[in-house]
């Protein structure tokens, strides 16, 4: 289950490009993903968050 999706503003992943790194947080672990650009990262965050939200509503 996806709990959160957000940009890695604090650079917790020690990424060489924190502006394009985002985190998908689940109950078990965090996934650190890197997009080719900041705009692409925001699109991916929106898509993942929207999909997770839709899945949660589907289960209800």
* Beta strand pairing call for 2-7 and 21-26: antiparallel
**Contact 8/20 with Cβ under 8 angstroms?**
no
pTM to 2 decimal places: 0.82
pLDDT of residue 28: 97
pLDDT for 9 beyond 90: no
HEC readout, 11-52:
CCCCCCCHHHEEEEEECCCEEEEECCCHHHHHHHHHHHHHHH
10-38 confidence digits (pLDDT tens): 888 888 888 899 999 999 999 999 999 99
Domain parsing of the chain, residue ranges? 2-59
Predicted local confidence at residue 16, as pLDDT: 87
């Amino acid at each position: 289950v996806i709990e959160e999706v957000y940009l890695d503003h604090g650079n917790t992943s020690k990424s060489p490009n924190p502006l394009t790194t985002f985190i998908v947080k689940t109950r078990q672990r965090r996934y650190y993903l890197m997009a080719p650009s900041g705009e692409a990262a925001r699109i991916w965050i929106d898509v993942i968050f929207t999909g997770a939200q839709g899945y949660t509503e589907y289960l209800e």
